[in-house]
């Protein structure tokens, strides 16, 4: 029984991170109709920045004090700033062009960001495990479970709630949804579309960065983590529906559960099953479970 | 798309071919091997562009067919114990064709971004299988492929493998390349090719004049996959090893890169793009650890400044004085 709880918590942990990444990807697509292939790199960027900042703040001390947890969001803010910089400079000239070019430029961005991280932080993994260990662990029946994982799950849950409130309960949320539904009409009604785009992109990047920032104490930051995460985020948004936040939540939960089950029950084909799941959903419901065509 | 008369194309294609034949006798072997890689990638790009340039479908999963061609060769060596290059090519083309036939049925139901994501997801299925089923595929270590015999065993590799690759194998690849280019030229200029271009330009109108859009797309997908698989089969003996890297979606990104670099709105663009990309990547890798950044900057600059690619831009520059007259 307690084993099942542990598995469930692992699935939730994974789903939280996936929701943050895929939710950002989906938000950006929903508003701007751009599939950002460099989105995974913003997640990796958030992880690196947080790991670096924690390492700096920790200095030579080995014990992490509680105030260090205040540094965690640094990665998310850094990713958001990077996004705010990239959208007006690289993406804005392309909105009127064919979407092939939008994919290509974000692919170019992916290559560049991958090496920017190598340049800034070197080829070796960065750790922030002090934060992970400082919280200790608790027991579920006979199993021991790290407390930090609960922090990640809570951040994921809080992000989902916060995002829902932001999109459905604020003035900007209304503008965001209006632009997403009909960009021309919103523009005709006086919405500054450029400003909405840059904010939506920044918000999406913030979420990706937050995912990296909260997971880095547990997993560390390595080169290539962004590219791998991107494909899984694709699986999530394809299952849930490209452009739908609720869909990203459902997709993330499904991917989290299947992955956790896969690692325990069918490790060889765990990844293949995830990709096949995405392919099957696309075939039955091309727009995803909650997407609109 | 290609309005150049065949005769005019031949007029400059013949000297280029003559130069390619003379090349191994002039330049160092290393350069010839490098060019062999370029020609192999050119075949892959040629196949890929039948979808992007002629049918208007952007696949982000062509690593699947390249990789399938390569792994088919490795399996032929491992299980059938054959070393004949002709068997490799046949096996590679058939295997990638089989995969493309199945994936194609699923993918051609969609266009635009959904087509791209579906091709990507399916190619990742193959990647993860190659990665995880290590007792069959060798996992991340990959599978070794020995130097093959050419032309039914008539031409064999001597003791010097490099010499073999830079001469006999180069000419073999060149011959296959010429056949592939000629074949693709015939395909895109056939009524079938014209129908594909009609689908690309206006799907609804194409449907109305009686083109079976989905079926034609599927056939284009199949041909495209087989060309790319052929390239994969030619690539393995050159590399000596096949690893899951060539099945990963970032390799698909490279195939897209070749094609856009050369110019996907032209017939010869992808070929030029693949050869130039190969030089670019080799020198970037040789000179800096930050080669990905170099490639990324080139790609971003290309999209922003030269969206028509190298061949497209050159053609426009050449056409300008004519138009002024």
Residue A293 domain flag: no
pLDDT, tens digit, for every residue of B120-139? 888 888 888 888 877 777 77
ipTM of the complex: 0.85
Tens place of pLDDT for every residue, chain A, 293 residues?
788 888 899 899 999 999 999 999 999 988 888 888 899 999 999 999 999 988 888 776 666 677 778 888 899 999 999 999 999 888 888 888 877 788 889 989 999 999 999 999 988 888 888 778 877 888 887 888 888 888 889 999 999 899 899 888 998 889 988 888 888 898 888 888 889 999 999 999 999 999 999 998 888 888 889 888 888 898 898 888 878 888 899 999 999 999 888 888 888 788 888 888 887 887 787 777 776 54
On whether any CB of chain B is under 8 Å from the CB of A6, the answer is no
Number of structural domains found in chain A:
1
Pairwise CB contact (< 8 Å): A119 & B290: yes
Q: Tell me the C-alpha distance between B325 and B320, whole Å.
A: 9
- Collect all residues of chain B within an 8 Å Cβ-Cβ radius of residue A106: none
Going from N- to C-terminal start, the domains of chain B cover 6-246
DSSP tag of A65? P
CATH number at residue A150: 1.10.3470
Residue A148 included in any domain:
yes
Q: Would residue A252 count as lying in a domain?
A: yes
Q: At what angle do helices B85-107 and B63-75 cross, to 10 degrees?
A: 140
Contact B121 A286 (CB under 8 A): no
B259 neighbourhood in chain A, CB within 8 Å: none
- Tell me how close the Cα of A234 comes to any Cα of chain B, in angstroms: 8
The answer to whether A260 touches A14, Cβ cutoff 8 Å, is yes
In degrees rounded to 5, what are phi and psi of residue B81?
55, 35
Its pTM stands at: 0.86
**What is the three-class DSSP state of B306?**
coil
> Can you list the alpha helix ranges (DSSP code H) found in chain A?
2-32, 39-58, 74-86, 99-121, 129-134, 147-169, 171-181, 183-188, 193-219, 225-240, 245-265, 270-284
Q: Which residues contact B132 (CB under 8 A, 6 or more apart)?
A: A267, A268, A269, A270, A271, A272, B139
Residue B236, CA distances (Å) to B84, B232, B275 in order:
13, 7, 17
Domain assignment of residue A111, given as a range: 2-284
Residue A67 inside a domain? The answer is yes
The pLDDT of residue A60 is 63
* Chain A environment of B124 (Cβ under 8 Å): 231, 271, 275
Look-up: residue for tokens 């990807």? A25
């Amino acid at each position: 029984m307690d084993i099942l709880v542990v598995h469930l918590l692992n699935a939730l942990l994974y789903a939280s991170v996936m929701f943050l990444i895929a939710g950002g990807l989906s938000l950006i697509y929903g508003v701007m109709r751009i599939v950002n292939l460099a989105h995974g790199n913003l997640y990796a960027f958030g992880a690196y920045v947080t790991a670096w900042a924690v390492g700096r703040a920790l200095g030579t001390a080995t014990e992490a004090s509680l105030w260090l947890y205040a540094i965690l969001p640094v990665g998310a803010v850094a990713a958001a700033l990077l996004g705010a910089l990239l959208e007006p400079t690289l993406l804005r000239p392309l909105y009127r062009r064919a979407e092939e070019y939008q994919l290509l430029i974000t692919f170019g961005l992916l290559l560049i960001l991958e090496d920017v991280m190598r340049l800034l932080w070197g080829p070796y993994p960065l750790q922030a495990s002090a934060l992970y260990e400082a919280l200790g662990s608790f027991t579920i029946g006979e199993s021991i479970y790290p407390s930090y994982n609960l922090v990640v799950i809570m951040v994921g849950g809080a992000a989902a709630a916060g995002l829902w409130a932001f999109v459905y309960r604020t003035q900007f949320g209304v503008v965001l949804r209006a632009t997403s539904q009909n960009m021309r009409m919103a523009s005709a009604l006086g919405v500054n579309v450029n400003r909405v785009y840059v904010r939506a992109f920044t918000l999406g990047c913030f979420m990706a960065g937050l995912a990296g920032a909260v997971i880095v104490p547990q997993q560390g930051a390595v080169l290539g983590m962004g590219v791998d995460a991107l494909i899984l985020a694709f699986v999530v948004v394809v299952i849930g529906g490209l452009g739908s936040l609720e869909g990203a939540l459902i997709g993330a939960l499904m991917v989290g559960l299947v992955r956790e089950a896969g690692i325990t029950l069918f490790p060889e084909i765990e990844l293949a099953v995830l990709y096949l799941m995405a392919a099957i959903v696309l075939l039955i419901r091309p727009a995803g479970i909650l997407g609109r065509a | 798309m290609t309005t150049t008369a065949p005769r005019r194309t031949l007029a400059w294609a013949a000297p280029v071919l003559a130069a390619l034949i003379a090349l191994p006798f002039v330049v160092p072997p290393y350069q010839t091997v490098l060019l062999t890689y370029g020609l192999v990638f050119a075949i892959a790009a040629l196949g890929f562009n039948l979808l992007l340039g002629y049918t208007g479908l952007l696949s982000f999963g062509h690593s699947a067919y390249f990789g399938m061609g390569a792994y088919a060769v490795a399996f032929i060596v491992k299980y059938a114990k054959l070393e004949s290059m002709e068997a490799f090519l046949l096996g590679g083309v058939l295997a990638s064709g089989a995969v493309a036939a199945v994936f194609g049925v699923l993918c051609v139901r969609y266009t635009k971004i959904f087509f791209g994501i579906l091709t990507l997801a399916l190619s990742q299925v193959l990647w993860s299988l190659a990665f995880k089923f290590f007792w069959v595929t060798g996992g991340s270590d990959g599978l070794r492929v020995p130097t093959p015999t050419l032309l039914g065993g008539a031409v064999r590799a001597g003791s010097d493998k490099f010499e073999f690759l830079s001469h006999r194998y180069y000419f073999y690849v060149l011959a296959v390349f010429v056949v592939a280019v000629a074949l693709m030229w015939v395909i895109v200029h056939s009524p079938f090719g014209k129908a594909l271009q009609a689908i690309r330009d206006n799907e609804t109108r194409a449907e109305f004049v009686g083109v079976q859009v989905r079926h034609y797309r599927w056939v284009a997908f199949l041909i495209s996959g087989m060309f790319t698989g052929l390239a994969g089969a030619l690539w393995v003996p050159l590399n000596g090893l096949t690893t899951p890297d060539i099945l990963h979606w970032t390799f698909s990104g490279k195939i897209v890169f070749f094609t856009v670099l050369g110019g996907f709105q032209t017939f010869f663009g992808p070929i030029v793009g693949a050869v130039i990309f190969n030089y670019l990547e080799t020198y970037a890798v040789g000179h800096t650890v930050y080669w990905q950044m170099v490639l990324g900057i080139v790609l971003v600059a290309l999209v922003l400044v030269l969206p028509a690619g190298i061949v497209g831009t050159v053609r426009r520059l050449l056409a300008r004085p004519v138009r002024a007259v």
